Structure 1
Amino acid sequence: MSPLPGDSLRVLVTGASGMLAYDLVPALRAAGHVVTPLGRGDLDVTDASECLAGVEGHDLVVNCAAWTAVDAAETDEAGAFAVNAVGAANLARAAARAKARLVQISTDYVFDGNASAPYPVDHPIAPRSAYGRTKAAGEWAVQALCPESWIIRTAWLYGAGGGNFVKTMLRLADERDTLTVVDDQVGQPTWTRDLADLVVRLVADQPAYGVHHGTASGRTTWRGLAQAVFEERGLDPERVQPTTSAALGLPAPRPSWSVLSHDSLERAGIAPIGDWRASVAAYLAGSATA
């Protein structure tokens, strides 16, 4: 089951009720692929037998299923591990048996967050949170069990298909005169529509298997993102005041540096996602749910 590049593929998308899948499923269909979207109620990725049955007959699996409750993972790492590591392993094993390729969605949290230059794909991983550890384990499982796989690390996602920081800022703009937002974490806000497009392009071009980074270009802080949202709505960005990560006192440590390099995509001849600021503007201009 090895279709040539450009052929229509039978694609299984797990985690189909999530924010990324909301944009990914129609993007894959628009590219001519036949897509089977399965949410948590349709496919339990922690069940190996369900994964074997679900993957059978597909050419490609895109695993969007994930435990993303970062703070909750600190007190239930086993639960997060079951989805992010065991689930990834089950799908990788099933994909290998079905001779299907696999795209695994991963995260910037696999790094320590202490860098000052963009992380290349081969930088040593050193997760500091339970969530990061379980996603790193999922990466390892996929690479070990399904050699014909791509891992795409992403970060700071927002989109129409679920709750996210951008939507929260819009709501708070209506509820408060001023608000405080963390200004000591640097990253790349990434629109799920842009990430979905990158997945489609990667599948079409079929670069060498391995790890790539799927984040927007440029960088900002969470406060900078909030201020951009305010500006796009014609509001005073100075209503967004700075605070620190330490002041929030959240259970899970957040990376202070989540800027990922796109060098591997460029070497493969695949254009990285464009500037984060332009995408925020496009999302807010075109999303009825925003």
Structure 2
Amino acid sequence: MAQSEWVGERSRRWLAGLSVREAQLAPVSLPLFAAAGLGPGERVLDVGCGPGTTTEPAFRAVQPGGRVTGMDVAPEMIDAARDRFAGLDIDWLVGDAVSTPLPEAAYDVVLSRFGVMFFSDPLAAFGRLAAATRPGGRLCAAAWRRRPESPFFAVPYAAVLSDLRRGGADVVEPDPDGSSFSLGATDPASALLMAAGWSDVTWEARDDRLYVGGPGSVADAAAAAVEVGSTFTLLEDRTDEERRSALIALEQALEPWFDGRGVALPGGFWVVSARRSP
């Protein structure tokens, strides 16, 4: 999936379920911000900021005297962010990191929560972000590990895939290293970042449990799981009967993970940190 595919219907669907998305991804922000170590006076670029969920706490972390820019390719996301945080002096930018001009050496930190995996040209995008960061400045991003290493995606995916195959469906599996998982393999991802102008690349593996769809019932979790990622791709063009059968199988697979508050699966993500090369 290219970054541009977040423009339009995909963004509107995300925003329609915003409370669900925020509830399930909230635990990711804790290690992300701990690794970023934002401080007063710093200048931050939040890449793929969506509706500003990470941009607002970044703004508060760099006060007094700091500046934050939230950047997203989807105008719908930036409009939502502006509305949500209209009272804060945050800069908002609609743009693609591959091609949008950015001021040179203008930022101390490039921050992102799951916003850097969809670039159409990753080398160009990370190079442009490096050029926009002062020498010695920091990159700190959360990115999904490979799908088989991320139970948050792998458990629903396996349940739906198995059910479709039991029903005789012809299934072409999505690339386990594509789209959301494009930075999941650390060796090629580190080589990419270093080629783009970053150094001292480190990867922290996280298995924090995330509530699928946020706190709620098993049925709520199953409904949320089929709306995102590879599971959504598997079911995108299926019949109503296939979808109903897959949802039943998915609920059965998620039931053991219900902890009384919701379905909590290990997230399986990286917090990647790097420095802008001198």
The two structures share one fold, judged by TM-score above 0.5: no
Q: TM-score, normalised by structure 2?
A: 0.34
> Is the strand fraction higher in 1 or 2?
2
